[in-house]
Amino acid sequence: MGKKTKIGIAAVAVGAAAWAGSKALVTAQPRPKKVALEYDRPMILAHRGGSLLAPENTMAAFKKAASFGVDGFEIDIRLTSDEELIVFHDEFVDRTTDGAGKVSDLTLEKLRTFDLGYHFEDLEGENSYRGANEKVVTLRELLEEFPEMYINIDMKDSPETYEGSLMPSKLWRLIESAGAEDRVGVTSFYDEQIDRFNLYAQNRVAVGAGENEIKKAYAAFNSQFGHLYKPRADMLQIPIRSSVFNLVSPRFIAFLGELNIPVHYWTINDPEAMRALIDAGAKGIITDRPDLAVEIIKETE
């Protein structure tokens, strides 16, 4: 037996011993269950209210999605210059006829002069919302309008910006004052934002995983040391693919399920893809077509 072979065998033996030792000493620690995430079937969340059916992030969209029987909404929030939390995705808002402005540079009053239905076209290429008085919606208004809905809130402002530095504390105070701790989830692409929010929330609100936490979860699943993974999120919201990696795996979903972490996939508008995800064990479908998704769920009941 050659020297290199002996070294290789020794390395494998050491690795196996380390794995066995860690399994004996460490057991996976599931996340405490959150009321907002306890449901008996896959959850249907209308993405920005169902942005293929009505102008995104408008009351028209949210009301239409609610009429189909969705479980809740997946929304983005940003902070205005007068420090109001609004339901809005883009950093800049289109002023319909006179250019664009940055949300954080504009007041709520100014933002509400813009027609959010101006550019919308439905699936037939028609616009029935231009001039229909669809205005910016605040997060407080959405919580009050739909008191029974689950709302997943994505903090869009970067933690490195002034508005981003204020957002976690302002969001927590709003959720607390609205008594919405058990019917919202809070997430961000920025792990730092989620950590900042949870400094205030103290695990009283379900939190999602930022990009780094998602990578850690996937790496742990693909390693022999998944039992060492200590999750910092109550849920994962992920696409079907990330770079070259296919994130749809019944084993991956089950791995997270054992840790009390449901997996929600975005943004899924194809019925066959919805069926495949539900068959794989997905606990949530985030979609621009809530009308289709609700029908798919009915098929499985």
Better pLDDT: 196 or 27: 196
Which pLDDT does position 2 carry in this prediction? Answer: 58
Q: How many domains does the chain have?
A: 1
Catalytic residues: 47, 89
DSSP 234: S
Quick one: pLDDT at residue 19? Answer: 39
Interior/surface letters 141-174, b for 16+ CB within 10 angstroms, e for the rest = ebbeebeebbbbbbbbbbbeeebbeebbebbbeb
pLDDT band at 96 (very low <50, low <70, confident <90, very high): low
Nearest to 230 by CA among 20, 34, 26, 28: 28
Nearest of 33, 46, 4 to residue 293 by alpha carbon: 46
What pLDDT is recorded for position 29? 83
Tokens 């508005």 identify what position? 163
Average of per-residue pLDDT across 252-272: 97
For residue 30, the 8-state DSSP code is: P
* Average pLDDT, integer, range 232-243: 92
Residue carrying the six token digits 């903090």: 155
Q: Within a domain: residue 68?
A: yes
pLDDT tens, position by position, 110-135? 999 999 999 899 898 888 999 999 99
Domain assignment present for 14:
no
The model carries a pTM of: 0.89
Whether 4 is in a domain gets the answer no
CATH number at residue 133: 3.20.20.190
- Please indicate, yes or no, if residue 24 is contained in any of the structural domains: no
Q: Residue 18 domain-assigned?
A: no
H-state helical runs in the chain: 3-25, 59-68, 108-111, 139-145, 162-178, 191-201, 211-222, 250-257, 271-280, 290-300
Computed over every residue of the chain, the mean pLDDT equals 90
What is the domain extent for residue 194? 30-300
Asked, for residue 5, whether it belongs to a domain, the answer is no
Over residues 266-279, the mean pLDDT reads: 97
Q: Is 179 exposed, middle or buried (0-12, 13-18, 19+ CB in 10 A)?
A: exposed
pLDDT value at 1 more than 60: no
